[in-house]
Chain A
Amino acid sequence: MNEPAPSLINALSEAELAAIDAEIAHMPQRSGAAIDALKIVQEHRGWVSDASLAAIADHLHMSAAELDGIATFYNLIFRRPVGRKVILLCNSVSCWMLGSDCLTQQIRDRLQIDFGETSKDGEYTLLPVTCLGACDKAPVMLVGDDLHESVTEDRVRELFDQPGAPNG
């Protein structure tokens, strides 16, 4: 008697549904699109709330527990709200050698956030990321969609000291 609650299905937007259904189309099982669906919804909403998770699970005919098991497995599915931009700071070995720790410290100080936290103004979330595949340009970080290579202290200052940014 677990009828899908229609309000939850409706919770996904047309655009989200269309994108998810396009993925489902080339899967032998609906649940195969689980990761794509989580990413699609995250693209639209920034993160995957419990309600979004339930709605996706419903649409994929799977349980919330199972989908949460998948969502929480992956590094880049956010189950908590994140800032408008996510800073993915590479802390793998080449970047570490070339000073990623200092950059981390600097960003922490500037934005007053630790790894896993979001700045007060809701602008940035700082996360560590494994090797970004640009080790020849170490240290590197992704801010939103933009890859910043050979990041220096000056560059960090430039990026995060814009007007409006904390401590600016």
Chain B
Amino acid sequence: MDRPLTRNIHADRRPIDLRGYRDNGGYEGLRVGLGLSPADCLQRIKDSNLRGRGGAGFPTGLKWSFVPMGEDCSPGHKYLICNADEMEPGTFKDRLLLECDPHQLIEGMILAAYTIGADVAYIFIRSEYHIAAQRLREGIVDCEREGLLGDNIQGSGYSLHMHVHASAGRYICGEETALISSLEGKRANPRAKPPFPQVSGLWGRPTIVNNVETLSNIAHIIERGPQWFNDLGLTEDAGTKMYGVSGRVKNPGCWELPMGTPIRTVLEEYAGGMADGYELRGFLPGGGSTDFLTADHLDLAMDYDTIGKAGSRLGTGTLIVLDDATCPVGFVKNLMDFFAQESCGFCTPCRDGLPWSAQVLDDIENGQGKPEDLDTLERQVEFIGAIGNTHCALAPGAMEPLQSALKYFRADFEAHINQGCCPWKARQ
């Protein structure tokens, strides 16, 4: 099986340096890419059908194509930003790529920046990933020394300066426009779109924000071509994907598998199935802001469209498993508390609606719930859950676990209310 993203990653997670990376064929993609025109590079990415791995799955080539080029672009900087803020509950895939193969990301970023004509690139990394940040900084210095970054890269006439920015901690910084606000040294409030960052982003200039995993794919695609990438996927979607599983499974972890690998394969073959004595009740397929799926969905392919059709989202591709010993109300409440706490506080439904939902869930979980509380929750789901009703996608994401829990685990909510206590706690 071709595992381009993790080919340099070892079980002991030792990092690979520039020398090792090059010895293993690294920066070959860059050589190829710099030989092509930016337009040709863009075409390759478009043809590869690469979709953003940050959660939304937006086609990467299409996104890049909105960046004004040449004459259409007013003079000034353009920016490429790598989103390495990974804070979505249950998500732990970017960390692996960042810590173990920094040059794969750097190479991808140089090519991405070259394609869109960016002259400055930032890696926006969460503060807790200090080891990764350190390795990236070292990687950048090494590249500068070898002419892979800086002015006139490899004699191509193309220049790029790359910086690592460590965040000061807030989940909302992962939202691309909030990230841009934060990079400008401001409060990380998301921005209304349009204008999209592609035309007015960092410092008002054209900007592309991509996820770590997305950018880590770029060099491979440029080097080996779109067809190769398309062929990697098992279904419509192209490439490989970093999948992960956490929760009460035998072997939680993170693996690179072909896009479209069935859930069952990930869960049973790679994660080893449920831990002994536990039953699967459901799972969030792609991090804390995706809808629950249940055992009925185990045979679905883990790709954007299939999961979407099943009523959830592929999200980050990292499953969080709910077992039968865990109270689903408590599970959802934990997430709701998280989202309420991480709301940037800009728009009303999120700032006040999420704490309100969390408070209702808290009452239910503590046996203080009332039947009409479920109506309140339904109302919140209806109004906060729809994209567009809030300023950014945080709040709708927060509603996804709740809305699907109300669908699949309604009886558990009702049991809490009827019994006046949490059945799981009572059982202990």
Contact = CB atoms under 8 A, between A and B. Distances in A.
Do A and B touch each other in the complex, judged by CB within 8 A?
yes
A107 to B, nearest CB: 18
Interface string A1-44: 00000000000000000000000001111011111101100000
Contacts of B88: 131
Nearest to A137: B252
Contacts of A27: 185
A92 B334 contact: yes
Contacts of A69: 187
A25 to B, nearest CB: 10
Contacts of A91: 334
Contacts of A96: 330-331, 334
B409 interface: no
Interface stretch (B15-23, B163-171, B261-269): B163-171
Contact of A92 (B170, B185, B288): B288
Contacts, number: 130
Given A26-B120, A98-B248, A131 B168 contact: no
Interface string B325-341: 01000110011001001
Interface stretch (B42-50, B90-98, B108-116, B136-144): B90-98
Contacts of B203: 28-29, 32
Interface in B231-253: 244-248, 252-253
A130 B342 contact: yes
Q: How large is the interface on B (under 10, 10 to 19, 20 to 34, 35 or more residues)?
A: 35 or more
B161 interface: yes
A35 B288 contact: no
For the side of the interface on A, what is the size category?
A: 35 or more
Contact of B95 (A28, A35, A133): A133
Contacts of A74: 167-170, 188
B89 A76 contact: no
A90 to B, nearest CB: 9
Contacts of A152: none
Contacts of A94: 89-90, 246-247, 320
Contacts of B182: 35
A32 B185 contact: yes
Nearest to A97: B326
Nearest to A69: B187
B196 interface: no
A51 interface: no
Contacts of B344: 73
Interface stretch (B124-132, B295-303, B358-366): B124-132
A119 to B, nearest CB: 21
25 contacts: A29-B203, A31-B185, A32-B184, A38-B168, A39-B127, A39-B166, A70-B185, A73-B187, A75-B169, A76-B167, A91-B334, A92-B338, A93-B89, A94-B247, A96-B331, A97-B323, A130-B341, A130-B342, A131-B88, A132-B128, A133-B91, A133-B92, A133-B95, A135-B92, A135-B318
Given A35-B185, A132-B128, A133-B91, 17 more contacts: A29-B185, A29-B203, A32-B184, A33-B185, A36-B185, A69-B187, A70-B187, A74-B188, A88-B128, A92-B334, A93-B90, A97-B331, A130-B342, A133-B94, A136-B246, A136-B254, A138-B252
